[in-house]
Structure 1
Amino acid sequence: MNKLISTLSQVDDDRLRTILQAIPDLIWLKDMNGVYLTCNHRFEQFFGALEKDIIGHTDYDFVSKELADSFRENDRIAMMKGGPSKNEEWVTFADDGHQELLEATKTPLLDKEGQLIGVLGISRDITQRKKSEMFEKFRSSTLELLTGDTPLTVILEFIVQGVEQLNSAMNCSILLLDEEGKHLGHGIAPSLPAFYNAAIDGVAIGMGVGSCGTAAYTGERVIVEDIATHPYWAPYKTLAAKAGLGACWSEPIRSSFNQVLGTFAIYHKDKNYPSEADIYVIEQSAHLASIAIERKLLEEKVRQLAFYDTLTNLPNRRLLKERLNQAMSVSKRTHCYCALMFIDLDNFKPINDMHGHGIGDLLLIDAAKRLKSCVREMDTVARFGGDEFVVLLSELDVDQAISTSQAQRVAQKIRAALSVPYVLPTDILPAATIEHRCTASIGVTVFLNQGINQDDILKQADAAMYEAKEAGGNSIRFHDNLKN
């Protein structure tokens, strides 16, 4: 002890104290037995005691035995190592109860003769740095999800839960706007009460509609640190109180074209104002959500272009063949018959010749709607090209006669629906319409997945359709001379 005091006396005490107090890190000095010799003001905040009351005592007088044992072991490692030793420690500050992750560097002190006389400790707050590292790791994991076929809802839930894991005091939500961009819905908020999520679903956005409704409406971040007193939350104050929510910070989720897609929100149980680090998290989380949403929207658009007819929004040939392949696989397993119908509109060409392709397109769109109304949800209506459509009926019956009868009824229903006159708008005169009669020739084949391929099925239905066309149209013909 005397050697250490003698060494310290060689330095101007006032200058040393000024330096120690100016440094924002925790600094302390212990002898070989772990007794404190000095510390700075930052360290006083940790123990919640003045330096004069810390000097002469050990860690066991201020913290739990478990933590004190840990401090003592790290001191011992540094002294045995003979050089600086680093470790990370989560500690709670006694003066106000907040927690910090400290990176402690402990360096053994030697006298002039090289004899060990104590340990100098310096601890730096690395809480934000560690959180930033954790966020970057979380961000990378999120971006990896985007490279696969993970559904959008799973990715958005991953984002929400990832932010909550970074800060257990936060409850997060992602709300998406509807197609019209006027209502909040499709909420991803697993940590919020179900009744709260249900109440928010479908709320119209607008100025003063909570944090999220306002953020979505204005396209600007909305920070409400006290829900109970903020005017934006007046209509929802009771709901928020029931859900135990005290603060809400909402960030608009924007597309690369600056279109608002939804909101990312962070809730706290008590009133709370965000730090700079919190603002970074909310901005980056909203950006991640934007990337995920835009990517999935693009994938859906590509799929739409690849598999659906752009005019009628019906499946195209490519998707029809996939659905036909699926139906054949199910047929092989269940032994149920399926039916394929080729449908060609009669008297379609004259409307294009007389009124133009724009009016003809309107008729095709109407015909597509009529076809869909005639079949089950599980069946497929596809546009094959021009004025030709295909209907696929899956899983009819294990009996061929019954299946044929079922297909016959659907075909008759389709023929009747398509025969109703089409009343189409025209831009020649305001509120003027055109009426056009357009029937259909329908060819049907009923099949099992036994010794037949897709091309054969399509050819059979096509051949039957031509028989109906040659018979004068507005009629139904079955393959293999099964007549209507």
Structure 2
Amino acid sequence: MNQQMLSLANFTEDNLRAILQALPALIWLKNADGVYLACNGRFEQFFGALEKDIIGRTDYDFVNKELADSFRANDLLAMQKGGLHINEEWISFANDGHRELLETSKTPLYTADGKLIGILGIAHDITKRKQLEKYEKFRSSTLELLAKNIPLPSVLEAIVRGVELLHANFMCSILLLDKEGKHLVDGVAPSLPTFYNQAINGVEIGIGVGSCGTAAFLGQRVVVDDIANHPYWEPYAELAARAGLGSCWSQPILSSELQILGTFAIYHREKNALADLDVYIIEQSAQLASIAIERKRIELKMQHMAFHDALTGLPNRSLLDDRLEQTKAACRRHHRFAAVLFIDLDNFKPLNDEHGHNAGDLLLLEVALRISLCVREVDTVARFGGDEFVVILSDLESELTHAEQLACDIAEKIRASLSAPYQINISNTHKQTCVQHHCTASIGVVLLRHLQHNDIDIIKLADQAMYQAKATGRNKICFLDSKP
């Protein structure tokens, strides 16, 4: 037993200091008057002095009076409480000037008979923990923002500004990949110079196209600590220098299916190396941007599906009704005429019967394209259902005769286009078959007048006109007046 106690005593005496020196926390011991009795190496870094030069002195010998007063006040609180006292404080380290947020625990020490010896202090760096807590709070608020009907650019700017608020030395940007997947566009970078944002908007991605162009091309994070001396930035060295940029870390924004949507980048004014916490921030920020982009794209897709035909992509009946109301309002406002064309294919069913609905769908796609090529950008082409289409000719002439002539000319252009032979390539698991099909169209045309009878069912009238065209032999145009 005595031998065991001796070994423990030897261990305590020989190794206690080594253990304290190895701990990452700041550890120190003061007497009741605030005079240092001991400290470890981490504490030496804070004061920028060796332990032998710290022992026997007080805080007032190393830091300014305001900070020393706060240290002394916390010491006295711990001694008055007679127990553990915890506080948080920002500390600048004398050895290299860096700052840390410390959680400081001060515990009064007593002799066996209850006499106060002094204070034991232990301080842990909680900078990373607090930053992560702040980031998680920011992340949660951003996710809540996504639930609201806010435009995507505003959401992306909120992400950028939110990260910059958490890290004062960050300048962030989000760039989106265009539909072709070749260019970075629609930049959101409020802290970067306008001339810089304008210069990189539309840049084609590739290796050596800065950090973002390279990251988007490779699909992996690109870290450039020193822009002025990195080959990826050679083509943009002058631009970056003019913008005062020293480093750029770029993270690709990936969809849930790992498709590249764009990039999230963090810039610094000076050269800057990527730290562990920075990796977490840039990855999480890119993920937030991904969630925002995908969510908005899904919303747009759902809106499109609600108002467009699934096969042809043309407006459906719901959107057609809305466009028609807009056209009526424009007619009243500008005192111009409009027209509605109702189109029905004359020889569509035999194709479906002989070659199946896939062939019919391919023909309908071609019909939709041909009609669209015959009208103006201001006009509306909609699929009414089955093999029926409706065209709204907006903003025709203000003079009746000219408006009628223009409507008839466009209708004839459509009729002639739809009567040309169709080449339908039908694919199946065994072979591909090319089918030639002849399909004409019967078209009913009704002029929409701007001064009267705007409550009339103009589409129903155009449908009646279409049936008259069929009755006269098909592949015809029948014009009806909307007057009672």
TM-score > 0.5, shorter chain as reference: yes
Q: Cα–Cα, structure 1 residues 427 and 381, in superposed 2: closer, same or farther, change >3 Å?
A: closer
Asked if the contact 1:418–1:439 (Cα under 8 Å) also holds between the matched residues in 2, the reply is no
- In the alignment of these two chains, the number of paired residues is 461
The whole-number CA distance in structure 1 between the counterparts of 2:16 and 2:337 is: 92
Q: Cα–Cα, structure 1 residues 362 and 315, in superposed 2: closer, same or farther, change >3 Å?
A: closer
Q: Cα–Cα, structure 1 residues 410 and 47, in superposed 2: closer, same or farther, change >3 Å?
A: farther
Q: Secondary structure at the match of 1:426?
A: strand
Q: Secondary structure at the match of 2:384?
A: strand
Q: Which amino acid aligns with 2:342?
A: I
The TM-score normalised by the length of structure 1 is: 0.81
Superposition deviation, residue 427 in structure 1:
6.3
The whole-number CA distance in structure 1 between the counterparts of 2:244 and 2:300 is: 38
Q: Counterparts of 1:396-407 in structure 2 under 5 Å?
A: none
Q: Cα–Cα, structure 1 residues 81 and 417, in superposed 2: closer, same or farther, change >3 Å?
A: farther
Structure 1: gaps of 5 or more residues: 1-10
Asked if the contact 1:352–1:359 (Cα under 8 Å) also holds between the matched residues in 2, the reply is no
Q: Secondary structure at the match of 2:483?
A: helix
The whole-number CA distance in structure 2 between the counterparts of 1:333 and 1:104 is: 76
Asked if the contact 1:340–1:461 (Cα under 8 Å) also holds between the matched residues in 2, the reply is no
Q: Cα–Cα, structure 1 residues 426 and 68, in superposed 2: closer, same or farther, change >3 Å?
A: same
Q: Cα–Cα, structure 1 residues 214 and 206, in superposed 2: closer, same or farther, change >3 Å?
A: same
Deviates more, 1:458-467 or 1:170-179: 458-467
Matched with 1:317 is: 317
Asked if the contact 1:443–1:468 (Cα under 8 Å) also holds between the matched residues in 2, the reply is no
Matched with 2:132 is: 132
Asked if the contact 2:444–2:462 (Cα under 8 Å) also holds between the matched residues in 1, the reply is no
Superposition deviation, residue 420 in structure 1:
4.5
1:415 counterpart = 2:414: no
Q: Cα–Cα, structure 1 residues 36 and 308, in superposed 2: closer, same or farther, change >3 Å?
A: same
Per-residue displacement from partner, 1:102-127 (whole Å, max 9, x unpaired)?
A: 11111122333324343221110011
Asked if the contact 1:87–1:104 (Cα under 8 Å) also holds between the matched residues in 2, the reply is yes
Q: Cα–Cα, structure 1 residues 57 and 469, in superposed 2: closer, same or farther, change >3 Å?
A: farther
Superposition deviation, residue 100 in structure 1:
0.6
Per-residue displacement from partner, 1:30-72 (whole Å, max 9, x unpaired)?
A: 3333333322221121122222333333333332333233223
Asked if the contact 2:206–2:214 (Cα under 8 Å) also holds between the matched residues in 1, the reply is yes
Q: Secondary structure at the match of 1:480?
A: coil
Asked if the contact 1:340–1:445 (Cα under 8 Å) also holds between the matched residues in 2, the reply is yes
Matched with 1:389 is: 389
Per-residue displacement from partner, 1:129-171 (whole Å, max 9, x unpaired)?
A: 1112122222222222222322222222222222222222221
Deviates more, 1:89-98 or 1:213-222: 213-222
The whole-number CA distance in structure 1 between the counterparts of 2:151 and 2:472 is: 50
Matched with 2:286 is: 286
Q: Counterparts of 1:216-365 in structure 2 under 5 Å?
A: 216-324=216-324, 341-345=340-344, 347=346, 349=348, 357=360, 360-365=363-368
Asked if the contact 1:248–1:266 (Cα under 8 Å) also holds between the matched residues in 2, the reply is yes
The whole-number CA distance in structure 2 between the counterparts of 1:406 and 1:115 is: 110
Asked if the contact 1:205–1:213 (Cα under 8 Å) also holds between the matched residues in 2, the reply is yes
Matched with 1:103 is: 103
Matched with 1:63 is: 63
Q: Secondary structure at the match of 2:203?
A: coil
Structure 2: gaps of 5 or more residues: 1-10, 426-431
* CA RMSD in angstroms, aligned pairs only: 3.8
The TM-score normalised by the length of structure 2 is: 0.81
Asked if the contact 2:442–2:466 (Cα under 8 Å) also holds between the matched residues in 1, the reply is no
The whole-number CA distance in structure 2 between the counterparts of 1:22 and 1:385 is: 78
Asked if the contact 2:337–2:447 (Cα under 8 Å) also holds between the matched residues in 1, the reply is no
Q: How many percent identity over aligned positions?
A: 54
Matched with 2:213 is: 213
The whole-number CA distance in structure 2 between the counterparts of 1:21 and 1:213 is: 47
Q: Which amino acid aligns with 2:481?
A: F
Matched with 2:203 is: 203
